[in-house]
């Protein structure tokens, strides 16, 4: 009985580790995506956002960089942009800032810890133990991605309701024109980007695990 209990504890431990690694993959992918402004400017050009908001591509790009710098800095208190900002915008982007900072802190803290742990598990030939649980966690991730792709608009709204406890994320383009800078298609591409990179990281880790058994 005790042996079975200990086995369940070990299984839960490796499943938890698999979840942490998957979250690390996601945070790394989010960091990469928001820090690749050429993806954003490409989307803006394709959708001709500059026509809708009456700004040049250069001005839109500058505003994006200012917003991203604000979202990722502990030291910048106020968001700078050439577009008018009301209290609704300030509150929502403040909420987004806290999530982005949490994302980046998790990524920075976990990167050396997980790399050290994976190397240690490989040296002790224990890396293969959580291969099954890691596949299960990735399967859940794929399920969420498929759900979002089938009806991205509903999924987008649902994720907002989970992440934000208020309705300040609902913008009116006339009152809060900054929303025009971030079309839904940009977030859809972002979600696909995260899925692709997480999948690449996942396959790389599986290869790393398989090599550890040799």
pLDDT band at 136 (very low <50, low <70, confident <90, very high): confident
Rounded-to-integer distance, Cα 191 and Cα 205, Å: 21
For residue range 121-130, list pLDDT tens digits in order: 778 777 777 7
Determine contact, residues 173/123, Cβ cutoff 8 Å: no
pLDDT value of residue 58: 93
Q: Is 164 left (phi over 0), alpha (psi -120 to 50) or beta?
A: beta
Could you read off the pLDDT of 62-119 as tens digits, one per residue? 999 999 999 999 999 989 888 888 898 999 999 999 999 999 999 999 999 988 888 8
Confidence of residue 205 (pLDDT cuts 50, 70, 90): confident
Q: What is the pLDDT of residue 3?
A: 47
State the sign of the Cα–Cα–Cα–Cα dihedral 134, 140, 143, 144.
Answer: negative
State pLDDT tens for residues 16-59.
888 898 999 999 999 999 999 999 999 999 999 998 888 999 99
In this prediction, residue 59 carries a pLDDT of 93
- Own/partner contacts of 91-97, CB < 8 Å, gap of 24 or more, are 91/166, 91/168, 92/164, 92/168, 92/169, 92/171, 93/67, 95/163, 95/164, 95/166, 95/168, 95/169, 96/71, 97/70, 97/71
Q: Are 18 and 134 a contacting pair, CB within 8 Å?
A: yes
C-alpha distances in Å from residue 192, one per residue of 50, 76, 78: 24, 30, 30
Q: Residue 110 has which token pair?
A: 């976990």
In three-state secondary structure terms, 48 is coil
Question: What pLDDT, on a 0 to 100 scale, did the predictor assign at position 111?
Answer: 93
Closest by CA to 42, choosing from 61, 18, 20, 67, is 61
Nearest to 16, CA basis, from 99, 98, 117, 86: 117
CA distance to 7, 135, 137, per residue, from 118 (Å): 21, 16, 17
DSSP 79: -
Of the pLDDT bands very low, low, confident and very high (cuts 50, 70, 90), residue 11 is: low
């Amino acid at each position: 009985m005790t042996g079975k209990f200990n086995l369940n504890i070990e299984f839960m431990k490796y499943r938890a580790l698999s979840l942490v690694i998957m979250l690390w993959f996601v945070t790394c992918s989010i960091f990469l995506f928001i820090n690749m402004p050429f993806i954003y400017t490409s989307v803006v050009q394709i959708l001709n956002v500059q026509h809708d908001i009456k700004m040049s591509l250069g001005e839109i790009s500058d505003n994006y960089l200012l917003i991203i710098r604000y979202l990722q800095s502990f030291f910048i208190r106020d968001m700078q942009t050439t577009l008018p900002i009301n209290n609704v915008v300030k509150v929502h982007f403040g909420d987004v800032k806290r999530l982005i900072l949490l994302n980046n802190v998790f990524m920075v803290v976990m990167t050396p810890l997980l790399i050290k742990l994976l190397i240690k598990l490989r040296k002790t030939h224990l890396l293969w133990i959580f291969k099954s649980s890691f596949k299960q966690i990735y399967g859940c991730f794929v399920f969420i991605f498929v759900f979002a792709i089938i009806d991205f608009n509903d999924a987008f709204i649902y994720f907002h309701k989970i992440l934000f406890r208020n309705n300040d994320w609902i913008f009116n383009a006339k009152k809060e024109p900054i929303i025009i800078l971030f079309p839904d298609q940009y977030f859809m591409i972002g979600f696909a980007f995260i899925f692709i990179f997480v999948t690449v990281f996942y396959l790389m880790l599986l290869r790393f695990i398989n090599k550890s058994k040799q």
